Amino acid sequence: MNWQDIELLVTLYNTKNITHAANQLYVSQSTLSSRLHNLEKKYDIPIVLRKRRGITFTPEGVMLAKFAQNMQREHEKMREQLDNLQGAVAGTLRVGVSNFFALNKMPKLLRLFQREHPNVECHVITGWSSEMYRKLLNHDVHVVIIKGDYPWQEGKQLLYQESIVVASPWDFDWVDLPKLPRIDYHTDQTMKQTVDQWWYTKYKQEPFTNIYVNQVETCKEMIVNKLGYGIVTELVVQRNPDLVINPLITKDGELLTRPTWLYYGSDALTLNVVRAFIEFVSKVDVKRF
């Protein structure tokens, strides 16, 4: 199996779509289909089953794709070790980042980091914090920057804490909150559990949720346009001075907060590029970006 075959299998397995895989590999769909057909002939197995919407991998195809993924990982490790032997801060840094941090913090952070270390190539993957945590467990990334507390016994660094707040386009009394329209959004289970526990400790009624969106940034825009209030972390709405922002407080009088962590594996510290990134992040005030 050559390197082109490995890239084809990994990309196709990740996308489960001929068109998307062809676009990522910068080849035509016919070229990709032809190469896939040649692989099936070479190993004398069906690799994928074509359906009306996308494809599915056969059991034999899954085994081959997993092998290709392992080969790609081993190749990346070899390159990392070769770069590391040179003693310079160079090579590829793989970072998993939560959606909010990726949009609001990561561009400036990377720009400043690469200004100090121009020979580093950064591969950034974004998604829900829980997804990035799984990628760290699977060794798909060197480090992650995610919101919430996750079980992790290796390297970690607390970047900042932020309050969880009610952000509203109007002034409100806490007693009236269950009757006001609420905009909810998809978030990690840890955030949802924290907010739900606070709510049902304070109120017997269900919240009046009339809009549900996929991203917290969309939720913010709905709030700004006076469609309802939302329960978010403070940094989401800090640049919207017209909103009424009140922190959530427990029955014991404590502020509810949510941490943002940098997590990394101990083995990753053997790489100059990872050590340089962690040291750089520890020197900057990320919360103020």
Per-residue pLDDT tens for 141-157? 999 999 999 999 999 99
In eight-state DSSP terms, residue 140 is S
Q: pLDDT by residue (tens digit) across 220-260?
A: 999 999 999 999 999 999 989 999 999 999 988 999 999 99
Structure tokens at 264: 């990394």
**150 closest CA partner among 163, 124, 132:** 132
Q: pLDDT by residue (tens digit) across 20-78?
A: 899 989 899 999 999 999 999 999 999 999 887 778 999 999 999 999 988 887 777 77
For the segment 129-146, the average pLDDT, to the nearest whole number, is: 93
Structure tokens at 125: 């993957």
